[in-house]
Chain A
């Protein structure tokens, strides 16, 4: 599903953000990526989205070599990948329903089915009754749930989450992680970048540690992050 071979990324400023990364993630996996700030986690996410191109190495997603994707085909790669961020990135000039429906409009999905899909998605994240609310009036946890609904409504094969609980308290963080796990159980491959080691330890998923742009540990599912 996701394959990186000897991937390095050095920013034009000369900062080496990722250094010779080799990584394989199977379809249907749930993977945590941990590491201190500045270790290169977000850079990795951006490479997977082809927001950035690697300085060297090869990235293959869903059988597509990212280096070979033409500009006008890039949207199709992006449709395979849902993404959520620490800061939610919702539109505050639109209500919850419109925020989620936006994802369908952006890919020019058939209009007739948008409504039922959005409502189903909102009920899945537990926000059906707030569909008319403006994101500003929601708690952080609720906003992130809207963002997840927006990321999932186009039914991507992969869901990337870059510190999705970074702005949330413990209880809300758990709810978000449960939602991501839920999506994974439905078959979506999920990659979560996080600082929340407590949750990482508790969930016992595959956990990849990055330090200074290198993978330093890769603990298999069911392994104990705490012990190592």
Chain B
């Protein structure tokens, strides 16, 4: 096919869509649904992992030591913990600091005096601890086990990290989305290739004449490839616009409706999200359009 024929093939492709409006529309709608689900899936999972990331800065277990442990031992425990993969920081709180903190939390500034009765006898004299920060919620169980096994460690307190449950939600969302996405992809592919098959059937006579006149096969096929690409792109543009318009509102709604969660929930800005999502949507939809047209062309318009 000649380069200058691209324009002609493009116009013919658009005409195909115009002639076959109902099926084209059905294809675009399904494709849109497909991309829309992809968008939901993508924004939910990336937001969750974004939140988990943010939260992991506070992922932390507390390590307490056996009574009367020597300071060198504490230090060597700290070194062992530091060696563990994924541990980002180990912070030591001495017994005195722990007591100060406790007083502050329990009695508050005004009643600090009340605690003075304990002045010389730190009731938390065995409360020295390490706060061990780590990068990934999934590693908590292993880390706790590792630290507990170190000699001289009395107890490891792991907080009930919400990151864990968030991760679970995220993977649930992923699984459901992938299933729905696969189904929609299959339907979209089926509809597109059928739409194009119908277009080929409608133009059957024309195609026969073109062959007899000596048209190249690529020239005969090109309009149907254009048709697939255009349907695919339309199927991406529509949901991208909708998601773009809706995203901010949904985020605001969630933040006001569940304001008690607002310290956990931190959403990605829409521009960040769309930097990845838009190319992803275009690649998927154009890819599906192309695949749909090739499936149909290979069935009905082989070189003869």
- Tell me the A residues contacting B by CB distance below 8 Å: 49, 51, 71-72, 74-79, 83, 89, 91, 102-103, 105-108, 111, 150, 154
B275 → chain A closest CB, angstroms: 40
The reply to whether A108 and B211 contact each other, CB–CB distance below 8 Å, is no
Task: Name the contact of A75 in the complex, choosing from B2, B5, B8, B215 (C-beta under 8 A).
Answer: B215
Contact size class for B? 10 to 19
> Which stretch of B63-71, B94-102, B202-210 is in the interface?
B202-210
The reply to whether B303 and A106 contact each other, CB–CB distance below 8 Å, is no
Given contacts A72-B303, A89-B205, A91-B206, A107 and B215 within 8 Å (CB-CB): yes
Chain B neighbourhood of A154, CB < 8 A: 213-214
Task: Name the contact of B1 in the complex, choosing from A49, A103, A108, A111 (C-beta under 8 A).
Answer: A108
Chain B neighbourhood of A49, CB < 8 A: 212
Given contacts A49-B212, A79-B213, A108 and B5 within 8 Å (CB-CB): yes
Contact flags B174-217 to A (C-beta < 8 A → 1, else 0): 00000000000000000000000000000001100111111111
CA A4 to CA B215, docked complex, whole Å? 25
The reply to whether A78 and B219 contact each other, CB–CB distance below 8 Å, is no
Of all chain A residues, the one with the shortest Cβ separation from B8 is A105
The reply to whether A75 and B205 contact each other, CB–CB distance below 8 Å, is no
Q: Which of B1-48 contact A (CB under 8 A)?
A: 1-2, 4-5, 8
CA A74 to CA B211, docked complex, whole Å? 9
Given contacts A72-B303, A89-B205, A91-B206, A106 and B215 within 8 Å (CB-CB): yes
CA A49 to CA B211, docked complex, whole Å? 10
Task: Name the contact of B213 in the complex, choosing from A71, A91, A107 (C-beta under 8 A).
Answer: A107
A42 → chain B closest CB, angstroms: 14
The reply to whether B1 and A83 contact each other, CB–CB distance below 8 Å, is no
A/B interface sample: 13 pairs, CB < 8 A: A49-B212, A51-B212, A74-B303, A75-B211, A75-B214, A91-B205, A91-B209, A102-B209, A105-B8, A106-B210, A106-B213, A107-B213, A108-B2
Of all chain B residues, the one with the shortest Cβ separation from A160 is B212
Query: Which 9 A/B pairs are nearest by Cβ-Cβ distance?
Result: A78-B214, A79-B214, A106-B215, A75-B214, A106-B213, A71-B303, A106-B210, A108-B2, A108-B5
CA A72 to CA B214, docked complex, whole Å? 10
B221 → chain A closest CB, angstroms: 13
The dominant DSSP class at the B interface is helix
Given contacts A105-B8, A108-B2, A76 and B209 within 8 Å (CB-CB): no
Give me 5 other A-B pairs in contact (C-beta within 8 A), A106-B213, A108-B1, A154-B213 excluded.
Answer: A75-B216, A75-B217, A103-B213, A150-B213, A154-B214
B15 → chain A closest CB, angstroms: 10
The reply to whether A76 and B214 contact each other, CB–CB distance below 8 Å, is yes
The reply to whether A83 and B4 contact each other, CB–CB distance below 8 Å, is no
The reply to whether B209 and A108 contact each other, CB–CB distance below 8 Å, is no
Of all chain A residues, the one with the shortest Cβ separation from B220 is A106
Chain B neighbourhood of A102, CB < 8 A: 209, 213
CA A79 to CA B214, docked complex, whole Å? 5
CA A150 to CA B212, docked complex, whole Å? 11
Chain A neighbourhood of B206, CB < 8 A: 91
Of all chain B residues, the one with the shortest Cβ separation from A71 is B303
B256 → chain A closest CB, angstroms: 57
CA A67 to CA B140, docked complex, whole Å? 72
The reply to whether B303 and A78 contact each other, CB–CB distance below 8 Å, is no
Chain A neighbourhood of B214, CB < 8 A: 75-79, 106-107, 154
CA A102 to CA B8, docked complex, whole Å? 12
The reply to whether A108 and B217 contact each other, CB–CB distance below 8 Å, is no
B111 → chain A closest CB, angstroms: 92
Chain A neighbourhood of B1, CB < 8 A: 108
Of all chain B residues, the one with the shortest Cβ separation from A111 is B4
Interface-central residue, B5, B8, B205, B214, by most chain A CB under 10 Å? B214
Task: Name the contact of B219 in the complex, choosing from A71, A74, A106 (C-beta under 8 A).
Answer: A106
B169 → chain A closest CB, angstroms: 55
CA A51 to CA B212, docked complex, whole Å? 9
B223 → chain A closest CB, angstroms: 12
CA A102 to CA B216, docked complex, whole Å? 14
Interface-central residue, A72, A83, A91, A108, by most chain B CB under 10 Å? A108
B176 → chain A closest CB, angstroms: 47
CA A196 to CA B154, docked complex, whole Å? 111
Chain B neighbourhood of A51, CB < 8 A: 212
Chain B neighbourhood of A103, CB < 8 A: 213
Q: Which of B208-246 contact A (CB under 8 A)?
A: 209-217, 219
Chain B neighbourhood of A107, CB < 8 A: 213-215
Task: Name the contact of A78 in the complex, choosing from B4, B8, B205, B212 (C-beta under 8 A).
Answer: B212
Task: Name the contact of B216 in the complex, choosing from A77, A108, A111, A150 (C-beta under 8 A).
Answer: A108
Chain A neighbourhood of B209, CB < 8 A: 89, 91, 102, 106
CA A107 to CA B214, docked complex, whole Å? 6
